[in-house]
Amino acid sequence: SHDWCAYMYGYYFEKNEGPFKSHVHDWEHVIIWTLHNEIYVSWSAHGKYTTKHISDSALLFHEGTHTKIVNHIGNAPWSTHLLRLAKGSDKPPENHWGQWFVAWLVEVTWMEPWLKMLVEHFWGTAHPDMNGCDFGTKLGEYAPWDAIHNEGFDPWSDTDTFATTGPPSGMGLRSNITLGEEFVKQDL
């Protein structure tokens, strides 16, 4: 919308455990925002997102291009898993391989019908933000300030979709996010 592109990545977890509570099914998301050479990253924590410019000093990168995001149990005793930015102390990642994990992409519009059921299925309180009901709402709510205040910005606009243009140059078929820590420790 007005040259802004958003690439949303959804991560499904069979269960979400915390110290004092847990539930089955969880979805967390990362959004990469691009406007020409401007890049922002947003990550979810229990349905709310935080957005940072790619130049923010808090961001760490894997291979120089992949934002490091960690699936982590929140600090509050009642908290369950959420996504957060990686910290320098997250080395090495706490997963089976002790390495950062770069997820392969499955593009929703290219999915086989049975795979689309993942996105369209009713998961109870956990739900994918890539579905038709939530996608534009989440983009509009958590877009970078510059996008939200760009006259004519419409998060529901579908005039320049991934299905017709492909991923940003250099992104290939791997996600622009690298997950570490407890991401792979869960019984997926």
**Is 139 inside any structural domain?**
yes
Q: Which of 27-36, 82-91, 109-118 has the lowest mean pLDDT?
A: 109-118
Q: pTM higher than 0.85, yes or no?
A: no
Mean pLDDT of 145-169: 64
**Is 186 inside any structural domain?**
no
Number of domains in the chain: 1
The letter for the amino acid at 42 is S
Q: Grade residue 124 by pLDDT with cuts at 50, 70 and 90.
A: confident
Q: Which residues span the domain enclosing 92?
A: 5-181
Q: Grade residue 49 by pLDDT with cuts at 50, 70 and 90.
A: very high
**Is 187 inside any structural domain?**
no
> SS3 letters for 118-154?
HHHCCCCCCCCCCCCCCHHHHHHHHCCHHHHCCCCCC
Quick one: 74 exposed, middle or buried, by C-beta within 10 A (0-12, 13-18, 19+)? Answer: middle
The letter for the amino acid at 95 is N
